């Protein structure tokens, strides 16, 4: 020891790793018998709130047409300006959406579109897996919105404010 460091001898019970290892094992074994909290995503999925607001879905009538009548309320109420709607007329002279597109990147998932819809056509969905290979894939057109099958959001219910 050229600079004369003083080495203090410690008792073996203080320097042995056995003690700490056993302490760790004890914690591990204790957790083996406790309830598991980790969800094994994606094999297992977390249940989400009934009021979850995810990517949209367009509901259809019995004959497979979109319920939307192109009234124009959702593009007007949308605070993010993410809905594009061009109204048109079908063979029976009914109003229907020629173009209905939602840019899910611009959407802030406020749920106003669902709330304002007088026909209960557009809904925000209880859904969160939205990965795409391209940015363009996030502009959902009418066909895509109608093809979605996930459950839809049940908006805030004044009779049940805590959603219980």
List residues binding another protein (CB under 8 A): 69-73, 76, 87-89, 93-95, 118-119
CB of 55 or CB of 85, closer to another protein = 85
Q: Considering the complex, what minimum distance in angstroms separates the CB of residue 153 from another protein? A: 21
CA dihedral for 136, 137, 139, 142, sign (positive or negative): positive
Question: C-beta of 95: minimal distance to another protein in Å?
Answer: 5
Q: Mind giving me the DSSP string for 40-55?
A: -TTTS-----TT--EE
Q: Which is nearer to another protein, 26 or 95 (CB)?
A: 95
Residues 71 and 97 sit within 8 Å (Cβ to Cβ): no
Four-point Cα dihedral 99, 70, 142, 130, nearest 10: 120
Rounded to a whole number of angstroms, the minimum distance from the CB of residue 70 to another protein is 7
Shortest distance in whole angstroms from residue 71 CB to another protein:
3
Pick 69 or 155: Cβ nearer another protein: 69
Following CA atoms 14, 17, 21, 23 in sequence, which dihedral angle do they give, to the nearest 10 degrees? 0
Q: Distance (Å, rounded) from C-alpha 14 to C-alpha 113?
A: 66
Structure tokens at 153: 């959001």
- Taking the least distance from each CB to another protein, the nearer of 68 and 127 is 68
């Amino acid at each position: 020891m050229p600079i004369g460091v003083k080495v203090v001898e410690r008792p073996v019970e203080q320097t042995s790793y056995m003690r700490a290892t056993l302490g760790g094992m004890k914690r591990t074994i204790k957790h083996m018998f406790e309830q598991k909290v980790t969800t094994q995503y994606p094999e297992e999925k977390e249940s989400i709130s009934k009021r979850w607001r995810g990517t949209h879905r367009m509901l259809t009538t019995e004959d497979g047409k979109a319920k939307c009548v192109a009234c124009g309320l959702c593009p007007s109420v949308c605070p993010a300006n993410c809905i594009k709607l061009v109204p048109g007329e079908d063979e029976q002279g009914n109003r229907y959406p020629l173009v209905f597109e939602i840019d899910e990147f611009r959407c802030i998932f406020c749920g106003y579109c669902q709330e304002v819809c007088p026909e209960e056509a557009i809904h925000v969905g209880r859904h969160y897996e939205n990965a795409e290979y391209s940015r363009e894939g996030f502009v959902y057109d009418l066909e895509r919105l109608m093809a979605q099958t996930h459950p839809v959001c049940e908006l805030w219910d004044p009779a049940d404010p805590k959603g219980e």
